[in-house]
């Protein structure tokens, strides 16, 4: 359903002038923007209902294609040049499926010179058939639904922020680029390069993951990595001729133990071996053994250094005739706070205060897994995460919801941030 113009906004041409007059001083909300956000509340609920109604698990490519068509059409109806695009290349991770879902890209051209990027994702962690147990429904101040908190509300927030800008007749930006990802929940193997490439040319990037149960903006998340260790030995009878084999389990144990002390807790670097497999029968010297480790880091450089160290250590073998290989993959780089992102987030806090609402800024890494980190890899401007609604229960099959009361404040924040960046009223350094 394409959002309809609210009656009171037929005087949209005057809204931008009102914004210019009122935004010079902090204190009270800009009336035209706040009224427009209030009028958009039901339309955004309707959009979330429509998005939740399409099952779009990351590995359900057909489902992702269906929701992508809906998102493309909504963005096109708002005046954007919108298209569904396939990954230019797929970064193959250990669990990457043969085919990944598409993305939706849209561009909105304005009269200014600032370039702003808005990102969210439309895929979920759920399997087909689960929607019947968690359909869209409203209960009090909560809207429930499969994938609504992660991250279908974020897609809706982008759509209705753009609807507000259109109704307010604000075109002071140079170009707004929207990218909606279809494989975020499996570490964005198809979208990561596109996100990084597009974000490199932006003055600011806003990512619409959830804004927390208590309102916040996020500037830092830990990165997620994985190490895979493989040992090739030689099988032999464990009782009759053990000396004829090369015990891959022994070599694996040696490798894991010598790689066990690579964590640096004081720097936020963690490496923990969590999975191991070896052997097929009790009376057979194992010819192959494997292990996996979970890695976390606060800085991109720490992952680079860890990968080099793992490779160097793997050359020190207990059994010279064994073959040892180690692979390290960055599933998510860390998102690192910068002076520019702190300054822009502080501006967002001031905007929220116009509504009499508090908002935290999280600039120390906690958790991980955000496309904003891919955007930040080569970004020349600040990257802000957590522009979405307040909610709870992501990845849960019985309690995923967003707080309806956060719709108007977050639409107001999102719209004002874009307007202020566009007009040079928000700090970008």
Report cis status (omega within 30 of 0) of the bond before 179.
no
For residue range 258-277, what is the model confidence (pLDDT) as tens digits? 999 999 999 999 999 999 99
Closest CA to 318 of 384, 248, 237: 248
SS3 321: coil
Look at residue 11 and tell me whether its pLDDT is greater than 50.
Answer: no
Average pLDDT over residues 221-249: 97
Bridge partner residues of 115 (DSSP): 175
- Secondary structure letter of residue 148 according to DSSP: I
For the record, the structure tokens of 286 come out as 């194992």
Between 13 and 302, residue with greater pLDDT: 302
Q: What is the pLDDT of residue 8?
A: 35
The answer to whether 184 is a known catalytic residue is yes
Q: Domain coordinates of the chain in residue numbers?
A: 8-221+335-422, 224-332
Residue 9 DSSP label:
G
**If pLDDT is split at 50, 70 and 90, which confidence band does 26 have?**
low
Condensed to tens digits (0 to 9), the pLDDT of residues 29-81 reads 999 999 999 999 999 999 999 999 999 999 999 999 999 999 999 999 999 99
DSSP alpha helix (H) spans, 359-406: 371-376
Mean pLDDT of 204-210: 98
What's the full length of the chain, in residues?
429
SS (H, E, C) 190-232: CCHHHHHHHHCCCCEEEECCCCCCCCEEECCEEEEEEEEEEEE
CA distance 332 to 137: 33
pLDDT of residue 2 exceeding 90, the answer is no
* Residue 123 a catalytic site member: yes
- 136 pLDDT more than 90: yes
Q: Please return the burial class of 243, using the count of CB atoms within 10 Å of its CB with bins 0-12, 13-18 and 19+.
A: exposed
Residue 57 exposure: Cα atoms within 13 Å on the Cβ side: 11
Strand order in the sheet with 142-144: 137-139, 142-144, 401-403, 391-392
Cα distances from 67 to residues 84, 99, 194, 218, 379, in angstroms, run 11, 17, 19, 27, 28
Catalytic residue from among 184, 302, 400, 420: 184
Stretch 176-180: mean pLDDT:
98
Structural element, H or E, at residue 324: strand 323-332
Q: In the structure encoding, which two tokens stand for residue 62, read together? A: 């057909």
Options 40, 55, 123, 150, the catalytic residue: 123
For residue 152, pLDDT beyond 60: yes
pLDDT above 90 for 144: yes
Confidence label for 308 from pLDDT (cuts 50, 70 and 90): very high
**Which pTM value belongs to this model?**
0.89
pLDDT on residue 367? 64
Q: Identify the CATH homologous superfamily for domain 8-221+335-422.
A: Zn peptidases (3.40.630.10)
pLDDT value at residue 21: 42
How do residues 362-397 score in pLDDT, each as one tens digit?
999 876 789 999 999 999 999 999 999 999 988 776
Instruction: Name which residue leads in pLDDT, 14 or 234.
Output: 234
At the second CATH level, the architecture of 224-332 is 2-Layer Sandwich (3.30)
What pLDDT was estimated at residue 28? 82
382 phi, psi to nearest 5 deg:
-70, 150
């Amino acid at each position: 359903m394409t959002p309809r113009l609210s009656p009171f906004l037929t005087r949209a041409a005057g809204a931008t002038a009102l914004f210019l007059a009122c935004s010079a001083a902090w204190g009270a909300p800009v009336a035209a923007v706040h009224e427009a956000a209030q009028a958009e509340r039901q339309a955004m609920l309707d959009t979330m209902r429509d998005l939740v109604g399409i099952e779009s698990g990351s590995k359900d490519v057909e489902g992702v294609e269906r929701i992508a068509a809906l998102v493309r059409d909504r963005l096109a109806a708002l005046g954007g040049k919108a298209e569904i695009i396939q990954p230019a290349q797929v970064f193959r991770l250990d669990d990457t499926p043969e085919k990944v879902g598409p993305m939706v890209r849209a561009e909105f051209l304005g009269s200014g010179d600032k370039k702003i990027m808005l990102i969210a994702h439309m895929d979920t962690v759920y399997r087909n058939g689960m929607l019947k147990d968690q359909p869209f429904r409203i209960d009090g101040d909560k809207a429930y639904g499969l994938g609504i908190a992660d991250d279908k509300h974020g897609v809706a927030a982008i759509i209705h922020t753009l609807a507000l800008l259109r109704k307010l007749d604000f075109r002071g930006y140079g170009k707004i680029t929207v990218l909606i990802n279809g494989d975020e929940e499996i570490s964005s193997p198809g979208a990561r390069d596109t996100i990084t490439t597009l974000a490199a040319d932006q003055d600011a990037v806003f990512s619409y993951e959830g804004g927390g149960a208590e309102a916040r903006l996020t500037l830092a998340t830990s990165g997620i990595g994985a190490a895979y260790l493989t040992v090739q030995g030689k099988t032999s009878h464990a009782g009759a001729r053990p000396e004829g084999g090369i015990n891959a389990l022994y070599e694996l144990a040696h490798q894991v133990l010598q790689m066990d002390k690579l964590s640096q807790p004081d720097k936020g670097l963690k490496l923990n071996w969590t999975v191991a497999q070896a052997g097929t029968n009790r009376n057979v010297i194992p010819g192959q053994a494997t292990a996996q480790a979970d890695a976390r880091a606060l800085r991109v450089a720490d992952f680079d250094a860890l990968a080099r160290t793992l490779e160097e250590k793997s050359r020190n073998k207990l059994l010279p005739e064994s073959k040892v290989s180690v692979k390290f993959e960055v599933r998510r780089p860390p998102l690192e706070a910068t002076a520019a992102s702190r300054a822009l987030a502080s501006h967002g806090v001031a905007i929220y205060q116009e509504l009499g609402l508090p908002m935290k800024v999280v600039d120390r890494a906690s958790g991980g897994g955000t496309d904003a980190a891919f955007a930040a890899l080569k970004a020349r401007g600040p990257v802000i995460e957590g522009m979405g609604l307040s909610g709870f229960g992501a990845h849960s099959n019985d309690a995923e919801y967003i707080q309806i009361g956060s719709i108007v404040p977050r639409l107001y924040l999102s719209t004002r941030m874009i307007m202020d960046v566009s007009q040079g009223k928000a700090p970008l350094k």
